[in-house]
């Protein structure tokens, strides 16, 4: 069981490396393909936007596919697309291959998250999601530095690294991921899109978008934010980035266990508030290396704990539509990433290099408020209900005491594919 979760995480590690490592090799891409660095930066934007748009569309289109075939098809598309990126002779062709890679990623990651929750009992779903999402966090700590190092002379070597990771995940899942629950009869498109009319679903998706926007406004321009501490020294900035990557992994691990133990609401509100406090403190913390490292230890820890809670919460709102809702969460995440570059640039222009993290503080507090709304107690069957530990839906009894909702097949994503 653990091995299969780790193999799913290897796939998300490949996706995470692919989506984030491009920022470290843009200069080389620009010189090789004879375009400006801002134009090369559109490679990242195109990937993120394509992912955001395609994730729910592909989840719906592939609803009747067996989960194993879907995962392997997604990894095939992703791996082949990155191989094409590695040999792309021109900038337009490279952009086209990034759209194809995003399609594979958009098909793989939500499916891997949904499959992970079918491999464990309900009380361990938070940890299962944390394991699969852990591939993304490990990518920030290991995949991105490794890919950037390999591509320091030739950016195409970085793309071949991603190809190797995708191929390894494909082989592992092809050999070991068997006997998955068969998908139930899939509803039509209108039925699958019905959860999008649910206000709680939309608010939860907005929470994901705004929260990842808050995180990435600072992350993209972290070198600028901590420059008073690093003095522009690459070694000092690398240390800050290393601590940030390691604590991202720790936050992912902690978040999975916290969701299972305390429930989604506690993790969303506590983790989001801690992240907001870290952004607020950054203009002062960045004055010294100690302060910068403390920031790098707190903000990613809180942020990635929340990142585990967000898809868990969305899936718990409409369990029978979990694959679609998890894909919606992924879309919202990548929309936040795509928008962060522009919002961060505007914040730098208006507030300056010292104070622009305050924009992330405001955005994080907005996300916390949205999270509080979407997880608050709600009326169900004449009483109040809320999301209990592990995402279990609680329904008020006649005495007003919450009790677990009756078990049903659709409570896990395997009920619908």
Question: What pLDDT, in 10s, does the model give residues 257-276?
Answer: 888 888 889 999 999 999 99
Q: Which fold has domain 1-186?
A: Growth Hormone; Chain: A; (1.20.1250)
How many CB atoms sit inside 10 A of residue 199's CB?
Answer: 9
Q: Is 159's pLDDT higher than 50?
A: yes
Joined together, the tokens standing for residue 308 give: 């585990």
| Strand residues in 223-374 grouped as ranges (E) | none
Higher pLDDT: 237 or 248? It is: 248
The answer, yes or no, to whether residue 18 has pLDDT greater than 50, is yes
Distance in angstroms (rounded) separating the CA atoms of residues 22 and 6: 24
Q: What digits encode the pLDDT tens for the residues 203-213?
A: 988 999 999 99
Pair 132, 113: CB distance under 8 Å: yes
CA 300 to CA 242: how far, in whole Å?
A: 11
pLDDT confidence tier of residue 138, bands split at 50, 70 and 90? confident
Average the pLDDT over 396-400 and give the result. Answer: 30
So what's the pLDDT on residue 334?
82
Which of 11-15, 31-35, 232-236, 407-411 is predicted with the least confidence, judged by mean pLDDT? 407-411
Quote the pLDDT of residue 167. 95
State the pLDDT confidence band at 401, using cuts at 50, 70 and 90. very low
Both tokens of 388, joined, read: 């209990």
Tokens 């506590």 belong to residue:
270
pLDDT for position 186:
53
- Strongest mean pLDDT among 23-27, 28-32, 124-128, 341-345: 28-32
CA angle 218, 266, 410 (to 5 degrees): 105
pLDDT of residue 136: 78
User: Average pLDDT, whole number, for the chain?
Assistant: 80
User: Rounded mean pLDDT of 246-266?
Assistant: 87
pLDDT mean over 62-85: 90
Is residue 338 scored above 70 in pLDDT?
A: yes
In contact, 70 and 177? CB cutoff 8 Å? no
Residue 255: CB partners within 8 Å, gap ≥ 6? 126, 130, 267, 271, 304, 305, 306, 307, 308, 309
What b/e sequence results for 260-291 when a residue is b if at least 16 CB atoms lie within 10 Å of its CB, and e otherwise? bebbbbbbbbbbbbbbbbbbbbbbebbeebeb
- Round to whole Å and give the CA distance between 231 and 20: 25
Give the containing element (helix H, strand E) for 379: strand 378-380
**Other Cβ atoms within 10 Å of 191 Cβ, number:** 13
Q: pTM of the prediction?
A: 0.71
Q: What is the pLDDT of residues 178-222, one digit of tens each?
A: 766 555 555 555 666 677 778 888 898 899 999 999 998 888 788
Percent of the chain beyond pLDDT 70? 84
pLDDT value of position 184? 53
Mean per-residue pLDDT, 95-100 = 95
Burial code (b: 16+ CB inside 10 Å, e: under 16) for 315-334 equals bbbbbbbbbbbbbbbbbbbb
Q: Are the C-beta atoms of residues 274 and 306 closer than 8 Å to each other?
A: no
User: What gap in Å lies between CA 150 and CA 50, rounded to an integer?
Assistant: 26
By the 8 A CB rule, do 159 and 100 touch?
no
pLDDT tens digits, residue range 344-388? Answer: 878 888 998 899 999 999 999 999 999 998 887 654 443 333 454
Buried b (16+ CB within 10 A) or exposed e, 365-392: bbbbebbeebbeeeeeeebebbbbbbbb
Q: Where does CATH 1.20.1250.20 sit in the chain?
A: 1-186, 196-417
Adjacent-strand bridge partners of 378 = 385
pLDDT at 261: 87
CATH of domain 196-417: 1.20.1250.20
Per-residue pLDDT tens digits for 289-315 = 999 999 999 999 999 899 888 888 887
- Is the pLDDT assigned to residue 412 strictly greater than 50? no
Which of the pair, 330 or 167, is modelled with greater confidence?
167
């Amino acid at each position: 069981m653990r091995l299969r979760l780790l193999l799913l995480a290897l796939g998300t590690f490949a996706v995470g490396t692919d989506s984030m490592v491009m920022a470290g090799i843009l200069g080389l891409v620009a010189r090789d393909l004879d375009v400006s660095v801002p134009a090369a930066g559109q490679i990242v934007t195109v990937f993120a936007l394509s992912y955001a748009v395609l994730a729910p569309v592909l989840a719906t289109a592939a609803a009747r596919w067996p989960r194993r075939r879907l995962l392997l098809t997604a990894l095939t598309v992703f791996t082949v697309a990155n191989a094409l990126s590695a040999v792309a002779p021109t900038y337009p062709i490279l952009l086209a291959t990034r759209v194809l890679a995003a399609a594979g990623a958009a098909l793989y990651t939500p499916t891997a998250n949904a499959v992970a929750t079918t491999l464990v009992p309900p009380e361990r779903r938070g940890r299962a999601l944390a394991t699969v999402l852990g591939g993304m966090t490990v990518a920030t700590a290991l995949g991105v530095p490794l890919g950037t190092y390999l591509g320091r002379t030739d950016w195409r070597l970085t793309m071949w690294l991603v190809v190797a990771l995708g191929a390894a995940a494909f082989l592992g899942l092809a050999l070991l991921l068997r006997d998955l629950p068969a998908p139930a009869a899939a509803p039509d498109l209108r039925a699958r899109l019905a959860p999008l009319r649910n206000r709680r679903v939309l608010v939860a998706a907005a929470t994901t978008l705004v929260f990842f926007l808050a995180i990435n406004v600072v992350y993209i321009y972290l070198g600028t934010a901590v420059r008073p501490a690093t003095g522009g020294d690459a070694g000092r900035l690398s240390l800050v980035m290393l601590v940030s990557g390691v604590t991202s992994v720790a936050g992912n691990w902690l978040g999975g266990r916290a969701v299972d133990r305390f429930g989604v609401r506690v993790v969303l509100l506590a983790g989001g508030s801690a992240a907001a406090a870290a952004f607020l403190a950054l203009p002062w913390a960045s004055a010294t290396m100690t302060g910068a490292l403390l920031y790098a230890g707190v903000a990613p820890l809180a942020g990635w704990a929340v990142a585990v809670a967000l898809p868990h919460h969305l899936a718990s709102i409409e369990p029978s539509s979990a694959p679609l809702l998890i894909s919606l969460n992924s879309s919202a995440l990548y929309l936040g990433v795509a928008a962060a570059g522009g919002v961060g640039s505007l914040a730098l222009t208006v507030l300056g290099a010292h104070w622009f993290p305050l924009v992330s503080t405001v955005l994080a507090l907005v996300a916390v408020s949205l999270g509080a709304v979407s997880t608050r107690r709600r009326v169900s069957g004449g009483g109040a209900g809320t999301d209990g530990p592990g995402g279990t839906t609680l329904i008020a009894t006649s005495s007003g005491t919450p009790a677990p909702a009756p078990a049903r097949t659709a409570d896990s994503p395997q009920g619908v594919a």
